[in-house]
Chains A and B, each alone.
Chain A
Amino acid sequence: MATDIETIAEGLVNPPAVATDPDLLPVEPGYKNVLRFRLLAVWLVVWAAGATVDQLAFQDLPVAGFLTFGVPVLALTAILTAPERIYRRLRYKLTDRLLQVVRGWLFHVDTVVPFVRVQHIDVTRGPLEKMFGVATLVVHTAGTHNSIVTLPGLAPARAAEIRDIIREHVRTDFA
């Protein structure tokens, strides 16, 4: 085996990158509320569908009632716990020449985009994001794989600031 005990131990105790790099910045706490409302919307749909099926078809089965009363419990748990965790794992870093976005735990992705590779940049704000005072930075590269890198939950002023920093570096290097 190529891995030594130490590496395995490190994998067990440390969440990667986030804990080891102090330069990684968190996003705005308001983003948690955006996530809560998004989850709520998703779970409402699931609950509505589940409850309908439950009332119409499952009444004679032993699982009757689970979809109507169990799903809201699951939903509540998810809405109370997940946004906090997603928020905690979402970090970003801006150096003089690259943007790094770190997110996720179960499926952890650590993306690095050099400024010179950026093709164009969007700052988007949906209604929920407006409500909680955050914005999403969307960076497009020329790649076909992972060509769009998003960084949600930034303060609008900060998003605009990052956009302007990156914009100065944007150039095409293929003609």
Chain B
Amino acid sequence: MSAPTSPDDAAVGPPEHLHPLFLLTGLGGSLRGIAGGYVAIGYLAVSGRWGTAFFGMLALVAFMTIGIFLYWRRFEYRVGANEIRIDSGILNRTHRSIPFDRIQDVDITQGPVARVLGLAKVKFETGASGGKEEGVLQAISLKRAEDLRRLARARRSGADAAVVPESEVSEAPPIYQMTPQRLLLAGTFNFSLALLAGLFGLMQTAGDVIGFNPFSRSFWLSILSAGDPVRDYILAHRFATAAAGLIVLVLLGVATGIVRTALTDFGFRVDRTGVGLRRRRGLFTRTDVTLPVSRAQAAVIASGPVKDWLRWREFRVQSLAKDEGSKQGSHLLAPLARDEEVNRLVEEFGWKPIPGAVTWTRVSAEYVFSLALALVPLILIAIGNLFFNPFIGAPFLAGLLGVLGVRWLAWRRTGYAVDDDRVLVRTGWWRRRITVLPARKIQSLDLRENFISRLLGIAWLEFGVAGGGMTGHSIPAIPRREARKLRDVLLELGT
């Protein structure tokens, strides 16, 4: 920032515009946003009114261009001594002031086009709920974006924290990093059963039409040359077609998982910066997010049966600021990590590492029984169907018993432990997670019962925790007296 010329200037700073290239990138963005317009034009074109369609298209583009230009013209931001001011709006002007004290985090996102042009989208995260367009600069130069971030950080941490040049930070070894091999492995784990089912359905219904149905014999016969041993095998054995189809599907599923993971998590690395942890990731769209450690509310170490068996974990942190572009809203800090790496990240937050052997207090077996009770009507229906319509009744019953079986497996793992000044909660069998919840971060505690659980003498303990993303944390099915005791202990620890 240049030297201020007057005291007034120092308070608010000189006005700045978005980068002129925003006129280009912004147009692309808004052209993507008007699907309805294309449908209308497409309809006009199909119905033969080419002139009208052409005119409509022209009007749309002109309208957009003028809109973008006005937005750019009327959008100003100023970087002052204590705040950032954003003046925006074409007709309704909004003058927003974001004090540096309240900026928890400056996110920098670069889409593929923006990366080519050297632009970046900057978002000032203030942790306020709602209002997603709270402090967004759609396109400024990457250099300016990094300046802004450095400035916000320096202002926040006070004058004593020396401003560390970005380049120097990058030279320190990262706290956590994804190697290409690990990215590949993470992609394999990202294999989605839902996608598989979807593909299977698609091939069954439309596969013959589009000429790609690995479950039909003719498909294999047509792509394999005569005399090929695989072809002979398929001709000889009926089940071979199904097996081959399944293999193709699984390969497709794995490939999709790898591509998806590579797109988001390519070059994943976490570094320590002055106030927090900085995460960079993405292949085409690169994001650069800093999570201030003091904002962390809870952490989750997640895994699955296979992942867990291979000793891999995923590490997420729930923070006051929401992580944009992640479905859960919590900050993913390690997609695939060993216990030591997880503990290293945990320690960065000033928390103790997760003990290797935790003595879990198991929850009541009524956890399984209460679900069984709730399922009784459905089970009766299934058994009834077994007599009248075995082909529907049998899978239905098997599904219900499967649900109960998974609950039983989950029950064997579900437990909690009070570990000094925090509570650890372990849940799930398929979606295994260990939640680390510092007692000081618990906002409210609910003990929940209903008329069934009361008969069984169990209660659910639910935690109110600040910050977005993860759905409520809770410990299921604790015997009532224990639940009250645990609540008192946590209240004692937390206040």
Residues of chain A whose beta carbon lies under 8 Å from any beta carbon of chain B: 1-3, 7-8, 10-12, 16-17, 97-98, 105-114, 116-117, 141-147, 149, 173-175
Number of interface residues of B (CB under 8 A): 43
| Assembly CA distance A143 to B446 (angstroms) | 12
A146 to B447, CA, bound (A): 12
Q: A7-B481, A109-B448 are in contact. List 12 more A-B contacts (CB 8 A).
A: A3-B365, A8-B455, A11-B457, A16-B480, A98-B491, A108-B454, A112-B446, A142-B320, A144-B465, A145-B462, A145-B471, A173-B440
Q: Which residue of A lies closest to B494 (CB)?
A: A114
Asked if B455 and A111 make an inter-chain contact with CB atoms under 8 angstroms apart, the answer reads no
Complex contact B450–A113 (CB within 8 A): no
Q: Report 15 cross-chain contacts, Cβ distance below 8 Å, ordered by A residue.
A: A1-B364, A3-B457, A10-B480, A16-B449, A111-B447, A112-B491, A114-B444, A114-B491, A114-B495, A141-B466, A143-B463, A145-B464, A145-B465, A147-B464, A175-B294
Any chain A CB within 8 A of the CB of B235?
A: no
A117 to B466, CA, bound (A): 10
Q: Which residues of A contact B364 (CB under 8 A)?
A: 1-3
B472 near A11 with CB under 8 A, answer no
- Render B466-495 as a binary contact track against A, CB cut-off 8 A, 1 for contact: 111001110000011100000100010011
Residues of A near B450 (CB, < 8 A) are: 106-108
Considering the complex, give the chain B residue whose CB is closest to the CB of A147: B464
- Contact flags B80-107 to A (C-beta < 8 A → 1, else 0): 0000000000000000000000000000
Name the A residues within 8 Å of B362 (CB-CB).
Answer: 2
Is B456 located at the chain interface by the 8 A CB criterion? Answer: yes
Asked whether A1 lies within 8 Å of B366 as measured between CB atoms, the reply is yes
Counting CB contacts under 8 A, is B451 at the interface?
Answer: yes
Question: Which residue of the partner chain, among A3, A144, A149, contacts B456 with CB atoms under 8 Å?
Answer: A3
Q: Do A2 and B365 touch (CB < 8 A)? A: yes
In the assembled complex, how far is the CB of residue B486 from the closest CB belonging to chain A, in whole angstroms?
12
B443 touches A141 (CB 8 A): yes
Contact of A3 among B458, B466, B471 (CB under 8 A): B458
Contacts of A175 in B (CB 8 A): 294
Question: Which of these, B444, B449, B481, contacts A111 with CB under 8 Å?
Answer: B444
How close is A145's CB to chain B, nearest CB, in angstroms?
Answer: 4
Interface residues of B (CB under 8 A from A): 129, 294-295, 320, 362, 364-366, 369, 440, 442-451, 454-459, 462-468, 471-473, 479-481, 487, 491, 494-495
Which of A98, A105, A111, A146 meets B495, CB within 8 Å?
Answer: A98
Could you say which residues of chain B place their CB within 8 Å of the CB of A149? 444
How many A-B contacts if CB must be within 8 Å?
121
- Tell me the nearest residue of chain B to A108, going by C-beta: B449
Among B365, B457, B463, B495, which residue has the most Cβ atoms of chain A within 10 A? B457
Ordered nearest first, which 10 A-B pairs have the shortest CB separation? A143-B464, A145-B472, A143-B443, A142-B466, A141-B443, A110-B447, A7-B457, A11-B457, A108-B449, A146-B464
Q: Which of B129, B443, B480: most chain A Cβ within 10 A?
A: B443
User: Across the interface, which residues of A come within 8 angstroms of B447, CB to CB?
Assistant: 17, 109-112
Other-chain contact of A141, B444, B459, B473 (Cβ < 8 Å): B444
Q: Which B residues are CB-close (under 8 A) to A98?
A: 491, 495
Which B-chain residue is minimally distant from A117 (CB atoms)?
A: B443
**Most chain B Cβ neighbours within 10 Å, of A17, A113, A146, A147:** A146
Cβ-defined contact, A110 with B446, below 8 A: yes
A7 neighbours in B (Cβ, 8 Å): 457, 479-481
CB proximity of A115 to chain B, nearest CB, Å: 8
CB distance from A148 to the nearest CB of B (A): 10
> In the bound complex, what is the Cα–Cα distance between A173 and B455 (angstroms)?
40
Q: How far is the CB of A23 from chain B (nearest CB, A)?
A: 14
A141: nearest chain-B partner, CB-CB:
B443
Q: Which of B320, B445, B462, B495 contacts A97 (CB 8 A)?
A: B495
Distance (Å) between the CB of A164 and the closest chain B CB? Answer: 19
Chain A residues near B320 (CB-CB < 8 A): 142, 174
Q: With contacts A114-B491, A143-B466, A146-B472 known, is A8 near B457, CB below 8 A?
A: yes
A1 / chain B contacts, CB cutoff of 8 Å: 364-366, 369
**B residues less than 8 Å from A107 (CB atoms):** 448-451
Query: In the assembled complex, which residues on chain A have CB atoms less than 8 Å from the CB atom of B442?
Result: 117
CB-based nearest B residue for A95: B491
- Bound-state CA distance A50–B467 (Å) is 43
For B477, the closest partner residue in chain A by CB is A2
Q: How far is the CB of B82 from chain A (nearest CB, A)?
A: 15
Docked CA distance A54–B449 (Å): 38
Contacts of A16 in B (CB 8 A): 449, 454, 459, 480
CB distance from B276 to the nearest CB of A (A): 13
User: Whole-angstrom distance from the CB of A150 to the nearest CB of chain B?
Assistant: 12
Find chain B residues with CB under 8 A from A173 CB.
440
Also in contact, A143 and B456, with CB within 8 A (given A11-B480, A110-B446): no
